Structures are given as structure tokens and as C-alpha cells.
Amino acid sequence: MFPEMLDLTSQMLMKWQRLGDGAVIDPVDAFTRLTLDTIALCSFDYRFNSYYQNEMHPFVTSALDALLESGRRASRTGLETRMRLWSQQHYDEKIQYCWKICDEIVAERKRHPREVNDLLNVMLKASDPDTGEKMSDELVRFEMMTFLLAGHDTTSGLLCFAFLLMLENPRTLQKAQAEVDEVLGDGAIGVKHASQLPYINAVLRETVRLYPTAPAFSRRSLSKDDVFVGDGKYRVRAKDTVVVSLPKMHRDPEVWGDDAEEFKSERMLDENFQKLPKNCWKPFGTGERSCIGRAFSWQVSLVDQSIEGLY
């Protein structure tokens, strides 16, 4: 997937260069286009071509509108939600549009099969080893939605925070640029370089420590009885749900020291990172339900930060 990631990052930088020195660049918009296009191309061999359009692709705006409405529903009663007929119609339209895009991609692949090593081919061809059952088109659609929506938004958030923090800390930016110069020289970045950029890797680790773009996860007690956690300090009742706030956990002075609120990439270099207590850094969730796209997101971020360092 590396060549596709490089292709799209290069598109973004080419657009920036052509805008000229006096242009104002909105990083949220730019990185959202980058990560959406990257997931679509790498996973489904589909191009949204976001850098050739003035407006964000309607998939993004439709999906975000639907997410916002879902969030509002969490604070309403069921009756209130049912009474909001216009909101329901708007909500359904946005969801249907996103599903339509996914279904069109699947239909096109079935009409014109291609031997590409992507996620879509795996989902369409793979079968359960015990039953031989294959994924239904509906299930494929739902998985595509998860990757496109959850994957692009969180990775673009990581990139935005990383560049903001480097601009606020010029020494960090200079050290990142120096590492890129040393590793790449005048050459192009390749997949082999991903493991040769420890400082940029530390910048990303420290960024998601302070600003995890998926800022919480929850766990529900399955015990039939109350249990006590935290050396007996906290009681969790049967069937209670516990929400873990990552921005709080990642800034615990007992783990990170008195400067826990400060951005210091050096604390995340391998020799320091490996000494951290177990389970103190969880920006991608935890356990069996942790982020399936972690490696993908990290590689996109490394490619983007490194190639921008050349400029």
C-alpha cells in the first residue's frame, strides 16, 4: 500500500506548491482529503479524487451529518427522536447516500474483477474456513463504512495535532526535518525508511498521548456481583459501564511526571517508551476490540510527515 500512500501525499503537496507562498491552507480540510482518499485507494482501489475538487466529497459531509445526529439522539428520549420527522428524513438520506457509494464500489468490482491485493478483494473472496460462508454484500458495505469513516477522521486528526504541536515547538520541528534530511537525503521515501525514522515516530506517539483522536473507550462489567478496583478504592456494580478517558489517563503525573501536560517527543523515543508501565498508553483502544487499522494509520502518518519534511 506504500506507493498509493505516497501518490496521494504527493498530490496534496503539489496542490500546496501550486497555490503559492501567500496561500492560506486549512490543514483540517487538507488532511481529511488525504486520509479519505488514501483509505479508499489502498483498501478498495477507488479514487475519490478529493484534490481535484473545490468542495469536500459528499461522502464526508453526509457521514459527518449522520454522526452528529447520532450523537444528538443519545441525549434525547425515544419519543422525542420519533417526533423529529424532518431530522429522521435527513438522517436516513445521509446514511443512504453513504451506503450508495459503498454499494457502487462493490458492484463495479464485481462487474470488472481485478487481481489487486486490497481489502475489498479479500472481503469478496474470503470464506469461513469451517462453514464456507462468504460475507454478504450488506456486511461488506458496513465494513467499508467503518474503514472509510472511522479511519479517515482519526488519522487526519492525528496529523493536524502533530503539525500544530511541531509548529508550537520549533525545536521539535527542526529535529524532525534533520532526521528526514539524514535518512532520505535527496532521494524519495520508500517503505524501507519507515523503520529508520525514530524521532518522527516519537512525535506521533507523543501527539496521540496528549490528543488521542479517539479519546475514550468503555468496558462493561460482566460480573454478577459488585467488584472493587484500584486497590479497593472504587466499587463497580454489576453490569456497570466504565468509561476510560484517555486524555486524563495519558496525563497522569504518577506515570508521566510533573511535565505530563507538556509536549516532549524525547519521552517517546524507543529507549524511553519501552520502559513505560504496562497499559499506560492506549490511543488505539485495548484488547480484542482495539483499532484494526492501527498499522495502516501509523504508516500513513509517517509517510506524510516524512515527505513534508523534504519541503
Q: Are 263 and 170 within 8 A, CB to CB?
A: no
Residue in the structure block whose three cell numbers are 447520532: 70
Single pTM value for the model: 0.85
In tens, the pLDDT along 71-110 reads 888 888 888 888 888 889 999 999 999 999 999 999 999 9
Binding site residue list for heme: 291
CB atoms within 10 A of CB 178: 12
Q: Are 116 and 123 within 8 A, CB to CB?
A: no
Please name the residues in contact with 71: beta carbons below 8 A apart, sequence gap of 6 or more: none
Please name the residues in contact with 238: beta carbons below 8 A apart, sequence gap of 6 or more: 221, 223, 224, 225, 226
pLDDT the model gives residue 22: 87
Would you please indicate which residues are annotated as catalytic (active-site) residues? 154, 284, 291
Please name the residues in contact with 195: beta carbons below 8 A apart, sequence gap of 6 or more: none
Residue in the structure block whose three cell numbers are 479517539: 214
In tens, the pLDDT along 160-206 reads 999 999 999 999 999 999 999 999 888 788 888 888 999 999 999 99
CATH architecture, domain defined by 2-212+250-309: Orthogonal Bundle (1.10)
Domain segments of the chain as ranges: 2-212+250-309
Average pLDDT, the chain: 89
Binding site residue list: 291
CA distance 93 to 89: 6
Residue in the structure block whose three cell numbers are 469451517: 130
